Amino acid sequence: MTRGTALLKITLDAQFATKWLMRRVDDFRKQRPGIELRFDITSKLREFDRDDVDVGIRFGAGKYPGLCANRLFENVIIPVCSPALLRAGPPLKEPRDLFRHTLA
**Helices within 1-104 (DSSP H only):** 14-16, 25-31, 48-51, 83-88
| Rounded-to-integer distance, Cα 7 and Cα 38, Å | 7
Mind listing the domains of the chain with CATH numbers? Answer: 1-76 (3.40.190.10)
Per residue in 30-56, pLDDT tens?
999 999 999 999 999 999 889 999 999
Smallest CA-to-CA distance from 61 within 71, 51, 52, 53 is with: 71
Q: What's the pLDDT band for 104 if we cut at 50, 70, 90? A: low
| Rounded-to-integer distance, Cα 55 and Cα 67, Å | 10
Amino acid letter, residue 87: R
The pLDDT value recorded for residue 82 is 82
Per residue in 87-100, pLDDT tens?
877 888 888 888 88
Output the pTM of the full model. Answer: 0.68
SS3 content of the chain, % helix, strand, coil (to 5): 35, 15, 50
The pLDDT value recorded for residue 92 is 83
